[in-house]
Structures are given as C-alpha cells and as structure tokens.
Amino acid sequence: MHSRLTSIFLAPACLVLATAPARADVDLAWLFKWEEFEQVSHAAPTKSVYNAFYPYVRADVGDFTAPATLVGPSGSLPTTFFAGSDFATSEHYVDAFPSRAALDAAAPNGDYTFTLNGGLLDGQSGSIPLVNPWPEQIPTFTPDSFDALQSAEASQDIAVSWNAFVPAAIAEDPRVRLFLIDLTDFNFLIEEQAMPATTTDYMISASLLEPGRDYALQLIFSNATETTGPAFGSASVLSDVYVQTSVHFSVVPEPTSLAPLAFAGLAVLRRRNWTSPT
C-alpha cells in the first residue's frame, strides 16, 4: 500500500489537535496543505510522491445542509458535503498535484472564505488565512534509524531519530508529528499529534509490533498556526502547511523451531539403519 492512502486520513486525524473551542455556531474551519516524501535509503528524499490541499469546515448537523461555497485567492473552488448524526462538514480535497509548484499555483497563500448554504446558518461566512511558508527541512530519519526499522523485530524496542526542524518565524504553533500505522488493518498505533518542534527522537515500543506485519512510520514537520476567529466567531481556526516523510518496513517473522525437523531427521535415520532380525 502506498503511503498516500495514509495521508488522506492523516489530515482528518489531526482534528484532535485543537483544544475544544467555546461553543460557536461553527465548530472549526481548518486548512491543510502538505507534501509527502518516501525515504527508501540512508539518503534524504528529494522528490515528493504526493501533494494535497484540504480546506474543511464543520458545524452541528442542520446548521448547514448543502456544500459550502469556497473562494480562494484564485477564485471559486468546488466542495463536497457530508451530514452525520451529530455534525455536518464541507470540504475541498485535491491530491493530484504532480509537484509542490503545481500545488502552490492552485493553492496560493491568501484568504480562503467559506460561506455556508442552507440550514440555520445559511449565508454565514468566515475566512481561513493561509500565510505560512513550507518547512525548509525535509524530515529524514538517520541511517541508524532507517536500518533499525528495516531489521525490526517484535521483541525489540526501536529507537528512531531524525534531523532538526527549524520552524518558520511566522508559524505560531509549529510542531513535529509522528504516526505509526499497521498497514495490514490500517490501525494507527502511534499518534503523536503535537510534539515540540525541537523533538528529534522517539522510542517505538516492541509491544506495538507483531511478526510478519507491514508498517509505515510517518514523520511530519509542521508550520501550523492555530487560533480562534476571526472565521465564524470563536470557532477553531487552523492553517497548517507541512512536509511528511514515510518509511515502510516489515517486522521479521519469528524463526520456526528446528526441534521438529531434528526429530523427523532422526526418525528417518533410524528407519534406514534398522534391519529385520533373522
């Protein structure tokens, strides 16, 4: 499985980043813009494999009943709508950009304004400012860490470390994030959503790993700014521009016991040497 599938779920998973805002008609208005790399050797990755853009607005179900209108610096953007049992969302998700330059051209910095349609909040609007630059560093695991992952055993903890992240001065809430995903059943085993930007190491517990299973370890450098307002009153407003590097690895299966094979070989030898008495 390519790690781009995990990226699709990574942005919604980040919804737990914000502290619960004061009660507002709109709960949150968030925007994610990210670039993904895959590390396949000791060397730092240089060519991205995935680029995506994801503005998102959420309110109680019934507060709006149709796709919200979204207008960015370059004009209108299409949105989709979802209504669950408790909340409604509208979003714009695009992930087919071949490069960072193509993503930046489609999603330049500036204000992205959602206007709600239908329901109790019909016509209410608010903007998410996208002002943060891309992180200058690409997350890269050290050679020792890369080797430790490629030879992972379920009985051993894995110490991983990576290069330093220097956040942009304009980013008000920069962070390092780390995810460990079991690709067999797409289960998030580690969800470190907001480690300090100075973090450069982590210990993966052996208790999380199972022999013969495939995993993805994802490291993120995030130039995030999280506030409340001015979009939709006191709603949580998050603008996050981040770079992610994934490493795929498998846990070495436990060795098969040689004892049964030894006994079988001994039995064959005895049969060959045995002769019928006369």
For the chain, give every domain's residue range. 4-253
pLDDT, position 43: 97
pLDDT digits 0-9 by tens, 235-276 = 889 999 999 999 999 998 766 554 454 444 544 444 444 444
* 147 membership: H or E segment, kind and range: helix 143-150
Is the alpha carbon torsion for 40, 46, 52, 54 positive or negative? positive
pLDDT, position 227: 76
d(CA 204, CA 158): 5
pLDDT, position 235: 85
Q: Residue 143: is its pLDDT beyond 70?
A: yes
pLDDT, position 276: 46
pLDDT digits 0-9 by tens, 24-59 = 489 999 999 999 999 999 999 999 999 999 999 999
pLDDT, position 226: 84
pLDDT, position 254: 65
pLDDT, position 20: 42
Quick check: 113 and 130 in contact, CB under 8 A? no
Closest CA to 97 of 64, 49, 145: 49
Q: Residue 141: is its pLDDT beyond 50?
A: yes
Quick check: 70 and 112 in contact, CB under 8 A? yes
pLDDT digits 0-9 by tens, 63-87 = 999 999 999 999 999 999 999 999 9
pLDDT, position 6: 47
Closest CA to 225 of 17, 13, 3: 17
Q: Residue 21: is its pLDDT beyond 70?
A: no
Q: How far is CA 210 from CA 14, 31, 204, in A?
A: 26, 35, 13
Mean pLDDT value across residues 92-104? 93
Closest CA to 71 of 34, 110, 42: 110
pLDDT digits 0-9 by tens, 147-183 = 999 999 999 999 999 999 999 999 999 999 999 999 9
What is the length of the chain?
Answer: 278
> What single-letter amino acid sits at 158?
I
Closest CA to 174 of 210, 135, 107, 222: 222
Tokens of 246: 């994934």
Which of 12-16, 22-26, 180-184, 208-212 is predicted with the least confidence, judged by mean pLDDT? 12-16
CA 29 vs. chain centroid, Å, equals: 19
- Per residue in 263-274, is it b (16+ CB within 10 Å) or e — as a string? eeeeeeeeeeee
d(CA 240, CA 30): 8
* 267 membership: H or E segment, kind and range: helix 259-273
Prior bond to 174 cis, omega within 30?
no
Higher pLDDT, 89 or 263: 89
Find where tokens 């680029």 sit: 51
d(CA 265, CA 274): 14
112: three-class secondary structure by DSSP = strand
Confidence of residue 134 (pLDDT cuts 50, 70, 90): very high
pLDDT, position 236: 86
pLDDT, position 230: 64
Tokens of 211: 């022999």
